[in-house]
A and B are shown apart, each in its own frame.
Chain A
Amino acid sequence: MLIRYSPQRSDRSLTYEFEGETITATLDGQSDVFDFSGLPDGELDVSALETTLDICPVLAARRVNGQLEVTLLKFHGPNAPESERFPKPEVID
């Protein structure tokens, strides 16, 4: 799974755990699970994603030649290092 992070300055806490093609997002202590294992090749309309969180942290998701690519909201604090403000994509096995 290829993960792209979209950085945003925020005072809130948002973390992720990955297992296979399932992503658990935890926002200020509240968690929701996003399972992409059934996503076929093509782009997912993420505006239709339902979540119990008050914001949807999944900004984009698509499968290209079988590989899942997901863009996730990623919060950072003030004076964050460049690696957090300009994050590079990560491959999660």
Chain B
Amino acid sequence: MEWNPNIPVVTNNVQDDLDAIRANFQHLDQSRIVEMGENANGHYVRWENGLQACWFTNNPTPNFTERIEGAVSGYLHWDDWTYPATFIAIPSVVAIGRGAVDFVIQTSLNTSIVSVSTTTAGIRLWAWNQVNVNVTICRIAIGRWK
């Protein structure tokens, strides 16, 4: 929410302050958090104006399998995320992963979002080498719940 210079500040004058407090609360209308929660798929927050954010970080068991795409070969790990809360329309999703080969972090590893719906997102990690330990994936989805 942007700062609004038209919202009055309190002055210690009772009537003025009541008006100022009312104006401040009206400015906050629709921006209140109406629900927060957690389940096995992560955390979520719902705001009164319909905004919803979901996020989840975990350490899945590495399952990188050899994959050739065009002239490039590497290793691919599939991870389909069920959001912790439903969206009413397709949300914006970002994810970033990391992983290691025998405890050497792979700087070549990259993350793609291959599908997005109102309930799930398909996430793929791609690496030049067969990552076998210390995989972490952080995901965020932002959209509307109503």
Contacts and interface: CB of A to CB of B under 8 A. Distances in A.
B39 A86 contact: yes
B118 to A, nearest CB: 7
A9 B118 CA distance: 12
A76 B39 contact: yes
A8 B145 CA distance: 12
Given A47-B115, A55-B118, A59-B80, A10 B39 contact: no
A78 B41 contact: no
A76 to B, nearest CB: 7
A76 B2 CA distance: 35
Interface of A: 6-12, 47, 55, 59-60, 73, 75-76, 78-80, 84-87
Interface of B: 35, 37-41, 44, 80, 82-86, 115, 117-120
19 contacts: A6-B40, A6-B41, A7-B40, A7-B41, A8-B39, A9-B84, A9-B85, A9-B86, A10-B86, A12-B86, A55-B117, A55-B119, A60-B80, A73-B119, A76-B39, A78-B37, A85-B38, A85-B39, A86-B40
